Amino acid sequence: MDIKRAQEIAESPVMAHVTYDGTPIYIQHVDEHSHTARIYALEDPDTELSVPLDQLME
């Protein structure tokens, strides 16, 4: 996923269907400098991860 789209999703009030490794996730924050996103799985909101943007699928 490109950084601009990831930022749009993170800032949008509408929930987008995004997955990481096949798991539906929520994007909390996008880091422009490291090209990563802070995410959590919808089924496990207590576990946060920082992952490369190119591993996110819409």
Full pLDDT tens readout for the chain, 58 residues? 999 999 999 999 998 999 999 999 999 999 999 999 999 999 999 999 999 999 999 9
Give the start-to-end residue ranges of the domains of the chain.
3-57
Rounded CA separation 29/42 (Å): 15
The Cα–Cα gap between 43 and 31 comes to 23
Question: CA angle 5-10-14, nearest 5°?
Answer: 95
User: So what's the pLDDT on residue 21?
Assistant: 96
Residues 6+ apart with CB under 8 A from 36: 30, 50, 51, 52, 53
